[in-house]
């Protein structure tokens, strides 16, 4: 498993996943399939998805294991936006007390969930909340 030091190194040099917000997320938000609300970006890295969501009216908290990634995210956040940046190890066997929101939303920060939400709606076109 890749450790924090490896992620820190990649964020200092070049992390292949850095760049703009994920196209699937952009499509979901700009199409209105996901309305603004509270969001937690687990494994937020340098913050592209979190910043995109905040720019579109979401109340966002980004969580990442790499202090270097979080520092980049803080620097990239425009002063007009408010994004909470928190350190957190998503591979830990437990979530610290007081982090119930992260525990409830842990499964929804995965690529699988973004891809599932990006699929065309089935049936009548509406999706159960």
Residue pLDDT, tens place only, 82-98: 999 988 877 776 555 55
Contacts of 1 (CB under 8 A, 6+ apart): 91
Tokens 């980004």 locate to 62
State whether residue 94 is helix, strand or coil: coil
The domain segmentation of the chain, as residue ranges, is: 24-118
Q: Please give the Cα distance from 71 to 16 (Å, whole number).
A: 18
Which of 20, 21, 2, 10 is closest to 69 using CA atoms? Answer: 10
Half-sphere exposure of 38 (CA within 13 A, CB side): 5
Which CATH number is 24-118's, of 3.40.50.300, 3.40.50.150, 3.90.1140.10, 3.30.420.10?
Answer: 3.40.50.150
Tokens of 38: 């509270």
**Res 103 pLDDT > 50:** no
- The pLDDT score that the predictor gives to residue 68 is 94
Q: Please give the Cα distance from 44 to 61 (Å, whole number).
A: 9
Q: Please give the Cα distance from 54 to 72 (Å, whole number).
A: 16
Q: Please give the Cα distance from 59 to 35 (Å, whole number).
A: 11
Whole-model pTM: value is 0.72
- The pLDDT score that the predictor gives to residue 94 is 59
Q: Tell me 18's DSSP state.
A: -
Contacts of 99 (CB under 8 A, 6+ apart): 88
The tens digit of pLDDT for each residue in 17-66 reads 889 999 999 999 999 998 999 898 988 999 999 999 999 999 999 988 89
């Amino acid at each position: 498993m890749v450790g924090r030091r490896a992620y820190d190194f990649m964020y200092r040099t070049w992390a292949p996943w850095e760049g703009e917000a994920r196209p699937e997320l952009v499509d979901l938000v700009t199409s209105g399939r996901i309305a603004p609300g509270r969001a937690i970006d687990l494994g937020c890295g340098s913050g592209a998805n979190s910043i995109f969501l905040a720019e579109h009216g979401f109340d966002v908290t980004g969580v990442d294991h790499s202090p270097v990634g979080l520092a980049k995210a803080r620097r990239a956040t425009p002063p007009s936006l408010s994004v909470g940046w928190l350190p957190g190890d998503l591979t830990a066997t437990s979530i610290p007390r007081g982090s119930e929101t992260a525990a409830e939303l842990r499964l929804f920060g995965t690529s699988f969930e973004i891809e599932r939400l990006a699929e065309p709606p089935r049936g009548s076109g509406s999706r159960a909340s």
